[in-house]
Amino acid sequence: MVKTIDMQDLRYLKLFNKVTKIQTKYCFMYNNVLIFAVPKPLIRKALGREAENLRRINQVVKKRVRVVAIPNSIDDAKRLIESVVSPVTFQDLEITDNEIILTAGSQSKAALIGRNKRRLLEMQEIVRDFFGKEFKII
């Protein structure tokens, strides 16, 4: 991930570390949801007992919070994108040399693009940071 961390992201990461005792450097926003990416074995620890840690972070930052697994390779792209955009579903994900193409139905496509292409731009930034590829929705 090449993204520079601004002060707000640094505050979110510090709060996450303080509450969960897990060090991570991946934090991003998608659809007004604050998403932290942690290694897959540490997801249960990050959530806490009965999602107590997420509730504590939610109360402090006043935003919805979600925890996803860090992708190990480009093969994990589908799992990452599914977890970020859920509950919206899509039909297929195709990975080529320099781009990731997501195929969705008309309702899902509208939800994935968002008003003024806001969600599409956010997802393009996430895919570019994690995988270094362009992102398109068909």
63 plus 93 within the same structural domain: no
57 plus 11 within the same structural domain: yes
130 plus 96 within the same structural domain: yes
65 plus 82 within the same structural domain: no
Look-up of token digits 């781009």:
99
Between 118-131 and 106-113, two packed helices, what is the crossing angle to 10 degrees?
A: 80
Low-confidence ranges of the chain (pLDDT < 50): 1
pLDDT of amino acid 4: 74
Total of domains in the chain: 2
User: 109 is written with which tokens?
Assistant: 């496509």
List alpha helices for 40-94, DSSP H.
43-47, 52-61, 77-85
pLDDT digits (tens, 9 = 90+) for 21-34: 999 999 999 999 99
Cis geometry, peptide bond prior to residue 87 (ω within 30 degrees of 0) = yes
pLDDT of amino acid 39: 95
Residue 2 lies in a domain: no
Give the integer Cα–Cα distance in Å for 116 and 113. 8
pLDDT of amino acid 2: 55
The range of the structural domain enclosing residue 102 comes to 74-137
78 plus 133 within the same structural domain: yes
90 plus 47 within the same structural domain: no
Select from 69, 85, 120 the last residue of a domain: 69
pTM: 0.90
Give the integer Cα–Cα distance in Å for 69 and 134. 21
pLDDT of amino acid 5: 79
- CATH code of residue 54: 3.30.300.20
53 plus 40 within the same structural domain: yes
83 plus 60 within the same structural domain: no
